[in-house]
Amino acid sequence: MPRYPALTLFLSLVVVLSLSLVTGATYIVADVDGSVEGYEALTTIAASSYGSSLQLVTVSGATWGYAATVVRNACRFLQAAGRPSVTVSLGPYTSTGDQYASSTYHGECQDSQGFPANPAEASQRGMAFSKADVSNAFGKAVSLPLRTSTPTCTFAAAPEAKTSLLSILRLMGSSDRLVFFQLGTSSTTLSQLLTAVSAGTDAAALSAKLQKQTDVHVLETGYAGAADTAAMQAVLASVLNVSVYAPAFYLSATLLTGTRWSAFETAASRAAASTNLQWLLTAYQAKKSAMGSTFATKASAGASLMVLCALVPATLPCYLYRTTTSSIGFQLNTPVLATGYASLAMSGENVTVKSYYVYRSATAESSASRYVYVTSASTAVSGASLADSFWSAWLALLGA
C-alpha cells in the first residue's frame, strides 16, 4: 500500500485528466448479425461513458431478407437506446450473386443449385451460409425488438457499410481512435473496408490510420472465422490491430445462469431501467424459453465482457488473460505447428466446419502485436477473477 494514499489518488487523477486533454475523439463501430448478444453489446456501449461515441452499426449483406430485417431492427433498437442519430449501414447484397443462385446447363437440362439446405451442404459447396442458418438468424431477427416504434432510418437511405467506414476514417484527426467491434457472424465487412481502402487515391493515409489509430475486437463465437474464411485471413494479414476473444476466455465466466441470470433479470426489470434494457430482457427470456436446458450452457454476456475490456481497461484487468502474439493466422486444415507456435481450435458450432487460429507468442509488446484472449476469465489471478470484476462492473453499469 502507498504511504500517502490521498496523494497517490490525486496524482493518478491528474495523470488521467492530462491524458484526457490530449486524447482525441473515439469513434465506435459495431458490426452485428441480428443475434440477441449483439444487441446486448450495443446496450452495454450505450450505457457506458462511451455511449455518445457510437457512430455506426454495420450489417453484412450476405443474405438479403435477413440483413434488411436486421438493419430495420437495429434502427429501432438505437431509437430505444436514445441513439437515433447513429448510422446503420448494410453491406453489398452478395446473396443475389451467382454463388447463391447459380444454374448450369447440360444440353437442354438445367441444374439450378440455389441455396444450400444445411451447413453440411454449404460447406461442401464452399459457401458460408445455408437455408438452415438464415432461417435461424431470420427467426431471431424478426422477433426483435418487440416494443419500439417505426424507425426513421432505412438501409436504402444510409451509405453502404464500407462507404460509411471510409467516411469515418477520412474524418478522423491524428489523435482520434476507431474501435471496431465484430459482433457479427463474419469478418466480411472489415474485409470489404480493406479492399476499398487499398483502391482509393488516399490509400496510404487511410492505411496509416488503420494501423496506428484503429483497434479491432473480434468476438469468436466458434464459427466467426470460418463463416468467411477469406475475409478473416485478409483481416489477420492486414495492418489492423486485432484482438480475438475465444469462447475459452469468455463463455464459462459470463454464462447467464443461476444467480447471475437472476441479477440481470432484476436489473432489467426495474421501472427505471432503460427501454432498450427492458426489451433486451424480453429477448433473452424468449431465447431462454426456446433453448431450454442449453440456455444455461450457451447463453452468455461474452460480448459485453469484450466491450468493457476494450473501453474500460483500467476497470477490468483483461490484459492478464491475453496472450501477446507477433502474428496470427487462420486456416481450416489441422495445423502442423512449428516451434514457438500454438493453435486455437474453433468447433464450428454445427454452423461451419472446424477451424484454427495459429499464432506465435511474443516475449514483448510491439506496434505489430496482436492479442488472443484464451485464458478463462474465471481463473483467479492474485486472488480475484476477471469474471467477478466483470459481473460487478456490468451490473452496476446496467443500474443494478
List pLDDT tens digits, range 149-204: 545 554 555 678 999 999 999 999 999 999 999 998 899 999 999 999 999 999 99
Of the pLDDT bands very low, low, confident and very high (cuts 50, 70, 90), residue 14 is very low
Look at residues 119, 123, 240 and name the one whose alpha carbon lies nearest to residue 182. 240
Ramachandran bin of 234, using left for φ above 0, alpha for ψ from -120 to 50, beta for the remaining angles: alpha
C-alpha cell at 38: 449483439
- With respect to residue 167, please indicate whether it lies within any of the assigned structural domains: yes
Interatomic CA distance for residues 281 and 258, integer angstroms: 15
| Residue 193, Cβ density class (10 Å: 0-12 exposed, 13-18 middle, ≥19 buried) | buried
387 pLDDT above the threshold of 60: yes
What per-residue confidence (pLDDT) applies to 349? 87
294 pLDDT above the threshold of 50: yes
Q: What is the mean pLDDT of the chain?
A: 83
75 pLDDT above the threshold of 70: yes
What per-residue confidence (pLDDT) applies to 34? 86
Interatomic CA distance for residues 227 and 60, integer angstroms: 12
- With respect to residue 182, please indicate whether it lies within any of the assigned structural domains: yes
C-alpha cell at 48: 457506458
The β-bridge partners of 106 are: 109
Q: Which residue has the cell 432489467?
A: 268
Domain that holds residue 128: 24-316+383-398
- With respect to residue 301, please indicate whether it lies within any of the assigned structural domains: yes
What per-residue confidence (pLDDT) applies to 400? 67
Q: Tell me the pLDDT tens digit for each residue of 30-74.
A: 999 888 999 999 999 999 999 999 999 998 876 656 777 788 888
What per-residue confidence (pLDDT) applies to 65? 62
- With respect to residue 140, please indicate whether it lies within any of the assigned structural domains: yes
Radius of gyration of the chain (CA): 21
- Asked if 57 and 182 count as a contact pair (C-beta separation under 8 A), the reply is no
- With respect to residue 161, please indicate whether it lies within any of the assigned structural domains: yes
Mean pLDDT of 373-379: 97
Of the pLDDT bands very low, low, confident and very high (cuts 50, 70, 90), residue 218 is very high
Of the pLDDT bands very low, low, confident and very high (cuts 50, 70, 90), residue 365 is confident
- With respect to residue 337, please indicate whether it lies within any of the assigned structural domains: no
Q: For the chain, how many structural domains are there in total?
A: 1
290 pLDDT above the threshold of 90: no
C-alpha torsion 218→223→229→233, nearest 10: 30
- With respect to residue 377, please indicate whether it lies within any of the assigned structural domains: no
What per-residue confidence (pLDDT) applies to 247? 97
Q: What is the CATH number of the domain that holds 290?
A: 3.90.245.10
State the pairing for strand pair 380-381/214-219.
unpaired
Cα end-to-end span (Å), the chain: 30
